[in-house]
Amino acid sequence: MIEPASAWEVTVSSDGERILCKAHNKEQCEHCQVDWTQHNQLATTLKQVKELPSPNTPNPVRNAQVNRLKEEGNKYFKQANYTEAIRFYGMAVDLSWSRPLWEPLAFQYVREELSPILSNRSAAHLALKNNVDALVDAEMVTRLKREWSKGWFRKGKALLAMTRFEDASEAFQTGLRFDHESEELQKALAEVDQLQKSNQQ
C-alpha cells in the first residue's frame, strides 16, 4: 500500500487545490511512494461546505433529514404500504452512511440512526415475504447494536419465516439474554417450540 510522504516531501499544485509530491509534482507517485488522492478528495469536500460544525457537535441538518426519511417510512409502514416504506428507509440508510469523514462521532450517530431504521426495514421486507432481505437487515442491526434485543427479534422472525427453527430459537434466546422480560421474544420463542413440535408429529 502506498503511504503519504512526510511534510517536507510535498508541495502544493499551482492552483493551490492539491497536495503533490515535491520531486515529481504528482498526486500519486509510485517513484516517491506517495498517494495524496484521498487527502485531496477530502479537502475538496470540505471546501464545498459553507460552514463547518463546531468540533464536538453533530450535523443537525443531516440528523433531521435522516429522521424525516425514517418517519416517512414509518408512515407508509403503518399504512401497510411496505414497498414505499422500504424505499424511504433505504434513502434514510443511504443518507446516514454518507456522513462526511470530518463529522465528529460519525459512526456513533450512524449506529444509533441505522439500528431502528434497519429494524423497521427488516419488518417491512418480512411483510412482503422478502425473507432474505429481512434477514440481512436484521443481521446488520445485531452487528451495529448487539445488546438491542429488537435486532435479535427481527433476526429470529426472518429465520422463522425461512423455517430455520433452530437458528430462529437461538436468535430469540440471544435477545432474551439482553432483555429477560421481553414479552415479544418470549412469545416468539414459544411459537418456534410449537412449530417444531408440529413438524415432528
Per-residue pLDDT of the chain in tens (201 residues, 90 and over written 9): 343 334 335 666 777 667 777 788 888 888 877 777 776 676 665 455 445 444 445 567 788 899 999 999 999 999 999 999 999 999 999 988 887 766 667 778 788 999 999 999 999 999 999 999 999 999 999 999 999 999 999 999 999 999 999 999 999 999 999 999 999 999 999 999 888 877 766
Q: What is the pLDDT of residue 197?
A: 79
Q: What is the pLDDT of residue 141?
A: 96
Residues of the chain with CATH 1.25.40.10: 60-200
Answer yes or no: are the C-beta atoms of 148 and 179 closer than 8 Å.
no
Joined grid coordinates for residue 29:
507517485
Answer yes or no: are the C-beta atoms of 138 and 122 closer than 8 Å.
yes
Q: Which CATH superfamily is domain 60-200 in?
A: Tetratricopeptide repeat domain (1.25.40.10)
Q: What is the pLDDT of residue 2?
A: 40
Is the pTM of the predicted complex or chain greater than 0.85? no
Q: What is the pLDDT of residue 120?
A: 98
Distance CA 138, CA 132 (A): 10
